[in-house]
């Protein structure tokens, strides 16, 4: 008989990581196990406090409900848990893991079997200019050709100076620059700031204004001098018609999918299919999961056969992550099958 259980795991950052919403020191997550008398399957329900739509007082109660009803199967549970995208994603992972010949090899792809790496961006966290400059130097030295800077927390001109330093050293052909404002700009000042940022030949900017200002975002996307990517804007929208309406209204240049925040792989595929119909670009990003969830996101991303650099470089941020075959080198995420998982439950 199929059974399930979960446990909480608190991830600790190696160093406090700054965003426009504040400084992160820990990241709460929940590990899920489904099992019978013969085998086990594992998943991660990556709740993101303050950002996830399922950051609710009854989260663990609903997670226990999913465990209690695990025998009803994945499709039933996912359909009943639309308000809990991170639990949906954890269940998807756990059922795939349970059905696989190896609990952490979820999708057959060259990423796993032939050591074909995934191109990723190097992430620069917010902080004082010298701290951000040090991160930039480290990422360039590590061989990243795509760098993403979180902006919006320090003086805007200081952030522009950092971008200018990179551009003086490297052309847009050598180093691709992305920025993520996490909604830090206002509808009144956003266009002016985008014009300033466009001087640095950026690939894109994520979520320049806060989510929910749909008409303002649509106006911005129609007038922007640099491509805009929707991120937080997609969170909490589960109905397919509403997804189509949002994309048709805003007409962004890109969308960014965080499976833990938008209903797992199934919810993400809804967005991807809508974007493809309208010639809108997309990429996948992790949301500070442990290596359990990151592994699932990476293998699923590889399975989609996309070539644009992805946002999957967060596995090395924590002091108490699980050792895994995932390895970042020279701007790529690798699955080194000769390295073993250090995860027991």
- CB crowding 283-296: b at 16 or more within 10 Å, else e: bbbbbbbbbbbbbb
Using the predicted structure, report yes or no on whether residue 19 has a pLDDT greater than 80.
Answer: no
- The confidence band for 21, taking pLDDT boundaries of 50, 70 and 90, is low
Question: Active site residue: 148, 150, 193, 243, which one?
Answer: 150
C-alpha torsion 295→299→301→303, nearest 10: -170
Confidence of residue 323 (pLDDT cuts 50, 70, 90): very high
Angle, CA of 118, 119 and 121, to the nearest 5°:
130
CA pair distance 17, 177, nearest whole angstrom: 20
Q: Is 150 marked active-site?
A: yes
- Give the pLDDT confidence of 190-208 residue by residue, as tens digits: 999 999 999 999 999 999 9
pLDDT computed for residue 114 by the predictor = 86
**305 noted as active-site residue:** no
CA separation for the pair 143, 257 (Å, rounded)? 25
* Overall average pLDDT of the 324-342 stretch: 93
- Kindly report, residue by residue over 141-192, the tens digit of the pLDDT: 999 999 999 998 778 999 999 899 999 999 999 999 999 999 999 999 999 9
* Helix, strand, coil in percent for the chain, rounding step 5: 40, 25, 40
Kindly give, in sequence order, each residue whose CB lies less than 8 Å from that of residue 313, ignoring residues fewer than 6 positions away. 120, 121, 122, 123, 328, 333
Sign of the alpha-carbon dihedral angle for 163, 169, 172, 175: negative
**DSSP secondary structure string for all residues of 271-301:** HHHHHHHTT-EEEEB--S--HHHHHHHHHHH
- Residue 161 DSSP SS3: helix
**Is it the case that residue 218 has pLDDT exceeding 80?**
yes
Q: How confident is the model at residue 129 (pLDDT cuts 50, 70, 90)?
A: confident
**pLDDT > 70 fraction of the chain, expressed in percent and rounded:** 99
Q: Is the pLDDT of residue 20 over 60?
A: no
The SS3 of residue 320 is coil
| Strand 3-19 relative to strand 22-35, pairing | antiparallel
Q: What is the pLDDT of residue 31?
A: 98
Q: Which domains are present in the chain?
A: 3-99 (3.30.390.10), 110-335 (3.20.20.120)
- Using a pLDDT cut of 90, give the percent of the chain over it: 85
Residue 229: strand, helix, or coil: strand
Closest C-alpha among 290, 306, 322, 273 to residue 89: 290
Q: Radius of gyration of the chain from Cα atoms?
A: 20
| Residue 131 host element (H or E) | helix 129-141
126: left (phi over 0), alpha (psi -120 to 50) or beta: beta
Catalytic, out of 139, 148, 243, 258:
258
Average pLDDT over residues 295-307: 96
Going by C-beta distance under 8 Å and a sequence separation of 6 or more, which residues neighbour residue 250?
214, 217, 218, 221, 230, 233
């Amino acid at each position: 008989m199929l059974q399930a259980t979960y446990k909480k795991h608190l991830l600790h950052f190696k160093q406090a990581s700054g965003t426009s919403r504040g400084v992160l020191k820990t990241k709460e997550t929940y590990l899920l196990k489904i099992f019978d008398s013969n085998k086990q399957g594992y998943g991660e329900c990556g709740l993101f406090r303050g950002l996830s739509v399922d950051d609710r007082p009854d989260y663990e109660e609903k997670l226990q409900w999913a465990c209690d009803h695990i025998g009803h199967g994945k499709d039933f549970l996912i359909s009943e848990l639309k308000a809990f995208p991170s639990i949906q994603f954890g269940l998807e992972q756990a059922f795939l893991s349970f059905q696989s010949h190896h609990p952490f090899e979820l999708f057959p792809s060259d990423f796993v079997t032939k050591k074909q790496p995934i191109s990723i961006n190097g992430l620069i966290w917010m902080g004082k200019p010298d701290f951000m400059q040090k991160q930039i130097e480290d990422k360039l030295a590590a061989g990243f050709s795509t760098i993403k800077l979180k902006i919006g927390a320090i003086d805007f001109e200081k952030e522009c100076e950092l971008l200018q330093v990179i551009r003086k050293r490297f052309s847009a052909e050598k180093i691709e620059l992305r920025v993520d404002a996490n909604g830090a700009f206002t509808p009144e000042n956003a266009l002016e700031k985008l014009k300033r940022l466009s001087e640095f030949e950026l690939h894109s900017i994520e979520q320049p204004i806060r989510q929910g200002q749909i008409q303002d975002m649509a106006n911005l996307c129609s007038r922007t001098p640099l491509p805009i990517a929707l991120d937080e804007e997609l969170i909490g929208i589960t109905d397919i018609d509403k997804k189509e309406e949002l994309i048709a209204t805003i007409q962004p240049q890109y969308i960014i999918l965080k499976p833990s925040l938008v209903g797992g792989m199934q919810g993400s595929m809804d967005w991807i299919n809508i974007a493809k119909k309208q010639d809108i670009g997309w990429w996948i990003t992790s949301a500070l999961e442990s290596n359990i969830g990151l592994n699932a996101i990476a293998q699923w991303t590889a399975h989609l056969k996309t070539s644009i650099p992805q946002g999957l470089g967060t596995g090395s941020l924590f002091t108490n992550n699980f050792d895994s075959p995932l390895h970042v080198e020279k701007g790529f995420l690798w699955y080194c099958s000769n390295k073993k998982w250090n995860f027991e439950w």
